[in-house]
Amino acid sequence: MTINFTMKSALAIAALAGSTLAASAQDCAEMKAINVLAPATRSMVFYPVMAAEALGYFADECLTVNYLPADTTIPYVAFLQNGQADVVMLDGPQTFQAVQAGLPIAIVFEANQRAPEGIHVAAGSDIQSVKDLEGKTVGLVSDRDVATLKWAMNVGGADFNSVTTVIVGDAGPTLANAFKRETVAAVVGALPDFIAINANGIPTRDIYPTEIAETPANSFAVNTETIDEKSVMLEGFFRAWAKGQAVGKIDRPALEKMSAMAAPEEWLDENFAKAFMDGAIPLNSPISAGYGAVRHNSWEAVQGGMMLIGEIAQPYDVDTFLDGRFINGSNTWTYQDVVDDVAAWHAANM
């Protein structure tokens, strides 16, 4: 999913962050530019960007963040290799593809420790688990979702070959009609798809196995050949991101206002937007004790599923591509500091 960053959004962000940005910039000998490639940086699904900008956290780190165009058919990892990006966001399959290809990358910060994917059924359905999908028709938002279904059914002890799959697309009304007309028993997709179904009058619930729900989802990767020379800049970026994540647990109304100012197109339907935020906050809330921690056990456990769906041919030693050097530095701030910053922003803008 890609949300375009409009000039209107840019002006809004500049207005709300202006005073903090100016103060922070005065404390910096120079502002360093960091080039970041990640999907949907102007969508509340990654609200830490919006919160960190609104509160001036990137400027506090003497950083100017340049978000590279996310709508590209070129693998994100290629932008690390050619030097155009300093940091990119990869999901699990993309990470293992890079590892399998022997590319010099390291996962250094887990932005999302819960999978945004899921398998939803109508709230009143008799289906309670993926095992109950055997012999039924399951809708896929795209053909990429077949891997999610295959993995989930294997973990749930169900026979994937017993189901019939159909592509239903990502349009909210179409997805909702698939349930209304009972042409599918379940839909496999991601957070925005399920919000769209609910917004079109069909309450749903998730039957995705909990065993794989808490797996590495979207993580930041860097080039190991340049990690040392960029370490200060990278740690500052992750620290600002982590503080932005914390805002979701501190002041929901303030975060909604920050989101609406940065991405007004997502707030044209307020009910949809609030439902989106309902899903975005837990997605961006860490399972680990600290923000961004690289969880070796999770990366080891996920490899069985990656092999099952053909993403990798063999398991890999996670120590060869996980690097936690930035985690302590990314968490060198207090929760109360962010609480105070958000309170000040709330008082000035609400």
Summarize pLDDT for 167-224 with one digit per residue, the tens: 999 899 999 999 999 999 999 998 889 988 998 999 999 999 988 887 888 999 999 9
Q: Which one is the CATH code of 7-114+215-349: 3.10.180.10, 3.30.390.50, 3.40.190.10, 3.30.70.20?
A: 3.40.190.10
Which string of DSSP letters, residue by residue, matches 18-72?
Answer: HHHHHHHHHT-SSPEEEEEE-TTTTSGGGHHHHHHHHTTHHHHTTEEEEEPP---
**pLDDT for position 302:** 87
Which of the pair, 145 or 52, is modelled with greater confidence? 52
**Is 76 buried (19+), middle (13-18) or exposed (0-12) by CB count in 10 A?**
buried
The 105-112 sheet, strands edge to edge: 63-67, 32-37, 87-91, 218-223, 105-112
Summarize pLDDT for 2-60 with one digit per residue, the tens: 333 333 333 333 333 333 333 344 588 999 999 999 987 888 989 999 999 999 999 99
Least confident range of 90-104, 258-272, 296-310, 333-347: 296-310
User: Quick check: 119 pLDDT over 80?
Assistant: yes
The 186-190 sheet, strands edge to edge: 164-167, 137-140, 186-190, 117-122, 204-206
Domain ranges in the chain are 7-114+215-349, 117-213
- H/E segment holding residue 236: helix 231-246
User: Quick check: 144 pLDDT over 90?
Assistant: no
The answer to whether domain 7-114+215-349 and domain 117-213 are alike in fold is yes
Average pLDDT of every residue of the chain: 89
| CA 287 vs CA 96, 108, 110, 165: distances in Å | 22, 16, 10, 32
Least confident range of 79-93, 113-127, 143-157, 284-298: 143-157
Query: Which pairing describes strands 164-167 and 137-140: parallel, antiparallel, or unpaired?
Result: parallel
Residues 6 or more apart from 334 whose CB is under 8 A from it?
A: none
**pLDDT for position 234:** 98
Give the pLDDT band (50/70/90) at residue 101: very high
The model's pTM is 0.83
Summarize pLDDT for 254-282 with one digit per residue, the tens: 999 999 999 999 999 998 899 899 989 99
Do 230 and 111 form a contact (C-beta atoms < 8 A)? no
**Is 244 buried (19+), middle (13-18) or exposed (0-12) by CB count in 10 A?**
buried
Determine the Cα–Cα distance for residues 182 and 198; give it in Å rounded to an integer: 16
Do 227 and 234 form a contact (C-beta atoms < 8 A)? yes
SS3 of 206, please?
Answer: strand
Summarize pLDDT for 28-42 with one digit per residue, the tens: 899 999 999 998 788
Can you give the length of the chain in residues? 350
User: Quick check: 342 pLDDT over 80?
Assistant: yes
User: Quick check: 309 pLDDT over 70?
Assistant: yes
User: Quick check: 104 pLDDT over 90?
Assistant: yes
CATH architecture of 117-213: 3-Layer(aba) Sandwich (3.40)
Supply the DSSP symbol for 221. E
Residues 6 or more apart from 336 whose CB is under 8 A from it?
A: none
* Amino acid (1-letter code) at residue 226: T
Radius of gyration from C-alpha coordinates of the chain = 20
Give the pLDDT band (50/70/90) at residue 310: confident
Which string of DSSP letters, residue by residue, matches 115-168?
Answer: -SEEEEEETT-S--SGGGGTTSEEEESSTTHHHHHHHHHHHTT--GGG-EEEE-
- Determine how many CB atoms are found less than 10 A away from the CB of residue 23: 12
